[in-house]
Amino acid sequence: MKNFEYLTPKTIGEALNYLEMHGDKAKIIAGGVDLISLLKEWIEDPEILINIKGIKELKFVREDENFLRIGSLVTLSEITQNEIIKKNYGILVESCLKAASPQVRNQGTIGGNLCQRPRCWYFRGNFNCLRKDGTICYAVQGDNRYHAIFSPGGCYYVHPSDPAVALIALDAKVKIMNKKEEKIIDLERFFVNTDKDVKKETILDRNDILSEILIPKKKKKIEERFFKVSDRAVWSFAIVNLAGIFEVQKGVCNFSRIAIGGVAPVPLRASRVEESIKDKKLNEKIIKIASDVAVQGATSMEMNDYKLDLVKNLIDKTLSSLTGN
């Protein structure tokens, strides 16, 4: 690990000053769950670490008229223990509980979880892949059993965050701050797909801080579902996961928002599935159509074609659970 200078701002303003002052030489650290491993593996080698963990302005859970607001420094464990979130946003709690081991949940922040870098073993290993100025994605001809089945840019890593999938289903937004401005955008727009930029995972620039997650308050009675398939029950990233919210009356789906993880470099909104069940009675025929629609456009490789069936089965399981079948 390369030697680095360590700065500990006490306010957001101080942290933003440090970022503007040091530019590309600096990296933000909070829980450090991902960054420390990246430093050890020499994937990241900043000259300066800016530790924001002590900034109280970024650690809160509160409600206003329109949103539940969660500061980016709130840990996954704190989310699972918060009574407001437990009562009203069950899929976020469930996704955090299934995201990692208790030790990691105690340390890892929700902001850091959303900003994780790829867990692809070629990116993390000694391979000069596309994300590290190389010319190929080694997964295409290599061990691709856990890699993407949707990737428009030729890099087949999958986004590792479970909470991101739940938050997109909940129509969450994020607040991004820098010295010049702050802006709130849909979480879907926060992630960068490989056809836009093969080296970036989020839209954050070097002077930006992700400060807050905003979840719209529910205005109607909805059903929530979260399912995760992984190779181990704990401390394992999703092979495929799915989160959704639904308004179903007398078996008819009036509204849905569905997101799928483990299949693309970004948490994937299942818009075509939503359209296929809109104002439809969730019977066997409609559920079969929705399951087939979920994998339209997918391109599997030699070792990961099983993910096609996993996605279809999760759609089937999710929609069938809404009918009571």
pLDDT digits (tens, 9 = 90+) for 143-156: 999 999 999 999 99
**pLDDT higher than threshold 90 for residue 135:** yes
Quote the pLDDT of residue 122.
97
| C-alpha of 11 from chain center | 26
**pLDDT higher than threshold 90 for residue 221:** no
What are the φ/ψ torsions at residue 15 (nearest 5 degrees)? -65, -40
**pLDDT higher than threshold 90 for residue 101:** no
> How does residue 187 score in pLDDT terms, banded at 50, 70 and 90?
very high
Sign of CA dihedral 27, 31, 35, 41: positive
Torsion angle (degrees, nearest 10) of CA 13, 15, 19, 21: 70
d(CA 223, CA 247): 6
Q: What is the pTM of this model?
A: 0.95
Quote the pLDDT of residue 2.
80
> How does residue 325 score in pLDDT terms, banded at 50, 70 and 90?
low
Give the mean pLDDT of 222-242. 90
Q: Are strands 223-229 and 173-177 parallel, antiparallel or unpaired?
A: unpaired
Give the mean pLDDT of 225-235. 86
Give the mean pLDDT of 143-170. 96
Give the mean pLDDT of 275-282. 98
Per-residue pLDDT reduced to its tens digit, 260-276: 999 999 999 999 999 99
Q: Which of 59, 56, 62, 6 is nearest to 29 (CA)?
A: 6
Q: Which residue has the higher pLDDT, 221 or 61?
A: 61
**pLDDT higher than threshold 70 for residue 300:** yes
Helices assigned H by DSSP within 183-243: 187-190
Quote the pLDDT of residue 324.
67
Task: Name which of 134-143, 227-236, 256-265 the model is least confident about.
Answer: 227-236
Quote the pLDDT of residue 51.
96
**pLDDT higher than threshold 80 for residue 234:** no
Q: Which of 88, 101, 314, 26 is nearest to 222 (CA)?
A: 88
Quote the pLDDT of residue 52.
96
Distances (CA, A) of 172 to 15, 190, 208: 25, 11, 19
Give the mean pLDDT of 173-178. 97
The mean of the pLDDT values for the chain is 95
Q: Contact 322/286 with Cβ under 8 angstroms?
A: no
Quote the pLDDT of residue 172.
98
